[in-house]
Amino acid sequence: MARLLIVGSLEGELGSAARVAIARGAKLGHAEGVAAGLERLRAEGADLALVDLRHDVAWLVQAMAAERIACPVVACGRAEDGDAAVRAIEAGARDFLPLPPDADLIIAMLQAAGAAPSREGPIARDPAMTALLARAAQVARAEASVLLTGESGTGKEVLARHLHAISKRARGPFVALNCAALPESLLESELFGHEKGAFSGAIAMRKGKFEQAEGGTLLLDEIGEMDPRLQAKILRVIQEREVDRLGGGAPIRVDVRLVAATHRDLAQEVARGRFREDLYFRLNVIALQIPPLRERPADILPLAEHFALHYARANGLPERGLSLVARQALLSHAWHGNVRELENTIHRAVLLAEGHEIGPEAIELTRRAVVVEAAAAAAAAPSATPAAGPPASRVAALVGRKMEEVERDLILETLSHCLGNRTRAAEILGISIRTLRNKLQDYRAAGIPVPAAPGQVMPAAPGQVTSPLPVAV
């Protein structure tokens, strides 16, 4: 169940936002002020916090950072509150929600934060996926740990939420944590919580994700990126069913079903010494491998139709079908980014389409595979004639360029393709979100334009707030 914290009065326009979230199945938490909101975050956590601009958003963001509380904060206010919105964004708020709230925008923000589960569940027409979902239904009611594997963008979190929804723990919370998105020190606090005084800035006790997921399901996404020291602690939690908060004096019993997900081959990671063998066997009690989209072609068009309808409604646009030529283009594409790439492609097509249907001119397909192959060929033999693979003209265009330049262009093109969504771009590129952010910071320092994140407010001029970009989920 989604967890939304609203900081501010529910008697005003934020009450409308609360009703939209509840209608989407969210679990609502409320605090009248930022101090009370911080207390709720310490005790219960949240997937998303909506904070009224009449409160000190900057103080809350800074206090959360000091206590290592990772929760996206969205500042809420009227359009005329431009100066306050810019200050909130500069202080670290992720987004700005204009009031009165737009229902579709709230839903998009919840989805971007990973907080809005799909009511339809996984969309599957291909035999490969229907067989996988049948196996998932068979094991859902068990208590054993589940390991979800598959390429980035195949829908591992969607399957994890589906497992939770059809399990005996469905009435309990579903809590997700991306292990690749946080530094080690913050990840440890997020997982296990901390006691007052455990470190500088820990001014109160806080529950970690294991405690927040009590009676429900905890998804550890990209667990293959976790530091070995934390892997040992996770192993102990699985074995003993208890956690030790940072600075704590006694273990705390927890009742949680663990689902782990990774795009890596953990067996190979074990062989290379990058992942603990004992933890691998503990997680791999039940293994579900999601096939890439190119291996389940019967799912491409049903998914595309679903996304076209969803994003037309979300953006207030006419509901258009896909033309025959557009369908053929989708079916013939390799989909290296899997369902996530398809979703972003259809989202962009919905925005670009004209007329009564989505035609091929609105379907902009990524050239990532061509660029990657050409870059590799250029690096391997810059002065030789390219071997079979990319056409010679494509490789020739890269010969003489530095690898860092090719890498930069690939990163920025992928980021644009993902509508600025850093997490999605990192997954398509096969790098950690931390690495991507560092590279983007270097590009900005060099004066190179970087696509804005979804919903990012750009302080272009005093008192003005740039309209949020469509949220890519």
DSSP state of 296: -
Mind giving me the DSSP string for 23-90? HTTEEEEEESSHHHHHHHHHHH--SEEEEETTS-HHHHHHHHHHTT----EEEEE-TT-HHHHHHHHH
pLDDT of residue 376: 43
Percent of the chain at pLDDT exceeding 70: 86
Copy the structure tokens of residue 470.
Answer: 């469509």
Amino acid identity for residue 361 in this structure: E
CATH topology of domain 2-112: Rossmann fold (3.40.50)
pTM of the model: 0.64
CATH topology of domain 368-445: Arc Repressor Mutant, subunit A (1.10.10)
Measured in degrees and rounded to the nearest 5, phi and psi for residue 339 equal: -65, -35
Residue 105: left if φ>0, alpha if ψ -120 to 50, beta else—which one? alpha
**Same-fold call for 127-291 versus 368-445:** no
For the chain, the structural domain boundaries read 2-112, 127-291, 296-362, 368-445
What's the mean per-residue pLDDT of the chain? 82
Please list the ranges in the chain whose pLDDT falls under 50: 115-119, 368-394, 455, 457-473
The answer to whether the bond into 100 is cis (omega within 30° of 0) is yes
CATH class of 296-362: mainly alpha
Question: How many Cα atoms are found within 13 Å in the side-chain-facing hemisphere of 145?
Answer: 19
pLDDT of residue 383: 39
Q: How far apart are CA 44 and CA 31, in angstroms?
A: 12
Q: How far apart are CA 108 and CA 111, in angstroms?
A: 5
pLDDT in tens, 189-226: 889 988 888 777 777 888 889 999 999 999 999 999 99
pLDDT in tens, 403-432: 778 888 889 988 887 777 887 788 778 787
pLDDT of residue 373: 41
For CA atoms 405, 411, 414, 416, give the dihedral sign: negative
CATH dotted code for 127-291: 3.40.50.300
pLDDT of residue 120: 57
pLDDT of residue 242: 93
Residues 6+ apart with CB under 8 A from 268: none
Closest CA to 284 of 267, 268, 272: 267
Give the 3-state secondary structure of residue 217.
strand
pLDDT in tens, 83-104: 888 888 888 888 888 888 887 7
> In 350-388, which positions are buried (b, 16+ CB within 10 angstroms) versus exposed (e)?
beebeeebbbbebbebbebeebbebbbbbeeeeeeebee
